[in-house]
Structure 1
């Protein structure tokens, strides 16, 4: 018996809602035409996405790259609604599958800014992207400015690999100053994580909307990579992550001030950059979901893995001026520079060459 045809709608919904694996729901939609129409009409893929990740309830429309919000369509309202439901079914089925089965990898794309830096660029936030606490004989870490008050917080801001990332855990390696007497470790008492997006409609520069804030995790004053696993995976909507360091532990013997120093930061999760983009997120958290590519979730992240290999090369491409300055400062190169002539000499040359071809 085809229960979808013979049972009432509520009972059929109750049965099919027991499918909590995106693949099973897609298979159910392929059983017959009546099952497919039922799954699409009642948005079961969308409901499963919302059930798995409540942050996705902020999606208010689905856009396909091939036909972005085609306006002025001559099709009937019923046909337009059917196409909309089919588009949502495909998009949310892919989103649910990618959010649960795409490869788990490092999700940080770049370091943006720190709330303070003691010595720039030697102790820049960009040093936290490298897993090593030493590059050759040179220490590699970020250091905050010194404070008398232990309660002054510090923050580090990062861009993730994609507008949508399913984050599973964070890791932080406090820096141990092996070159100072006693080899102190400059950790913080606690750490907290925020995930969100940049509000492009705000009149203020760099105004971020944080849609998720984690609990406070206690940090150990130990020279190791400390991992903080979230109670459940969280979808980062917008691709920005803020780390808050709360409470200072260690003073520097030279000036008696409290510092926080970090050797390495890592975020693990599933990047959905290969398939999805965010469109016009607002302050309330609502956004459009743009489908860039309907690719196999198992293939998601291959591009990111290739980028990580490139990042590990000794002379990787510098992504911005800050990183270039930091690299040159730490690794001076034996290069003979040819300086341009002074402005006075250039003016003399120009005067002497008037009328000459």
Structure 2
């Protein structure tokens, strides 16, 4: 006769935690929590989904709290006994972090740039505006389409391009940049940078919506950067060059800055160095409308908003839908 034992009832707490801590996929933890009431209680009470999510994506260590605005989260003093409030908080975090971790892995890849915010300089605005970099290729309506910096005698002077992303939380994996080739100049020079670096972060103050016309401005006093990539070499080629980040980066706050470092091409007309970009793409997984954030000042801490108590519109993925149903089971 086969004997079945529930190891959670036979093993001590620490050993059970070590066993379940070996699970590396949030979907597996959600399945574990659906085995029985006691297993679900163990997973939720010990915050296993939250722990796994934070191991996978340390960027979420800056979460101050999780709220569900549409469910009307009340303050503890307005709800009842502290144990009830604590359990409701644990359940909310279990659902949110389970979906958050899996969403970072399974939500569909999309183009993540919403709009251009500013460039550190522009040579001939608005003809050579940063907004031209949102258009594919180097032509638009029969005319050259590109952004150009102002000319510099010093080839070491950097330039920056700042963009607003499509969501306040995006998992960014790669950025594509196409330097501009001035085919209308003698020799068809290519005004690339020597290298590029990427910064991600959030505004110091709320930004207007819509953003309005992009400005020539430095971004140092307007944004807080929470991620800085390694420096990538850029080829002096008229092609869409791919820069893949060493690992997926969770951009919290929805702001990306491209640093263009070093200049290689002088313009024959004035003997000054320029950098010109035809097109920029940012690829990743936006986590809206399922999640939003509310930044809590310069500390970098933020409120994570689970924006629906019901399953949001999901990709056509049976696996994602099934574990989401488990995660949100009461």
Give the TM-score category using the shorter length.
0.7 to 0.9
1-side partners of 2:42 and 2:199: how far apart? 38
Distance 1:111 1:198, change over 3 A: same
Note the C-alpha offset of 1:105. 1.1
- The SS at the match of 2:66 is strand
SS at match of 1:87: helix
2:247 corresponds in structure 1 to 232
> Take 1:205 and 1:270, find their aligned partners in 2: how far apart are those partners?
26
Alpha-carbon distance in structure 1 between the residues aligned to 2:10 and 2:314: 35
SS in 1 for 2:237: coil
Question: Within the alignment, does 1:102 sit opposite 2:119 as a pair?
Answer: no
- Counterpart check, 1:6 vs 2:10: yes
1:253 matches 2:268: yes
Are 1:295 and 2:299 matched, yes or no?
A: no
Spell out, residue by residue over 1:42-90, the C-alpha distance to the aligned partner (whole angstroms, 9 max, x if none): 1111111111111111101001012444134242100000000000000
Once residues 257 and 79 of structure 2 are traced to their aligned partners in structure 1, the CA distance between those partners, rounded to angstroms, is 46
- Equivalent residues in 2 for 1:171-320, closer than 5 Å: 171-200=176-205, 207-293=222-308, 294-295=311-312, 297-298=314-315
Deviations 1:80-116 (A, max 9, x none): 0000000000010110011010001111111111010
Q: How high is the TM-score relative to the length of structure 1?
A: 0.81
Normalization by structure 2: what TM-score?
Answer: 0.87
User: C-alpha separation between the residues in 1 aligned to 2:49 and 2:184?
Assistant: 56
CA change 1:116–1:205 in 2 (3 A) is: closer
**Does the 8 A contact of 2:179 with 2:277 survive in 1?**
yes
Pairing partner for 1:52 from 53, 56, 68: 56
Which runs of structure 2 are paired with 1:130-149 in the superposition (5 Å)? 130-149=135-154
In structure 2, what is the Cα distance between the partners aligned to 1:297 and 1:29? 21
User: After superposition, what is the alpha-carbon deviation per residue over 1:195-240, rounded to whole angstroms, capped at 9, x for unaligned?
Assistant: 0001229xx9962110000000000000100001111101001000
Unpaired stretches in structure 1, ≥5 consecutive residues: 301-357
What's the RMSD between the two structures over aligned residues? 1.7
Residue 65 of structure 2 corresponds to residue 61 of structure 1: yes
- Match of 1:99, SS state, is helix
Query: Could you say which residue in structure 1 is the equivalent of 2:212?
Result: none
Cα pair 2:79 2:85 within 8 Å, conserved: no
- Give the drift of 1:23: 1.1
Structure 2 regions of 5+ residues with no counterpart?
207-218, 318-330
Q: Is the 8 A contact 2:160 2:260 kept in 1?
A: yes
The structure whose RCO (Cα within 8 Å, separation 6+) is larger is 2
Aligned residues: 298
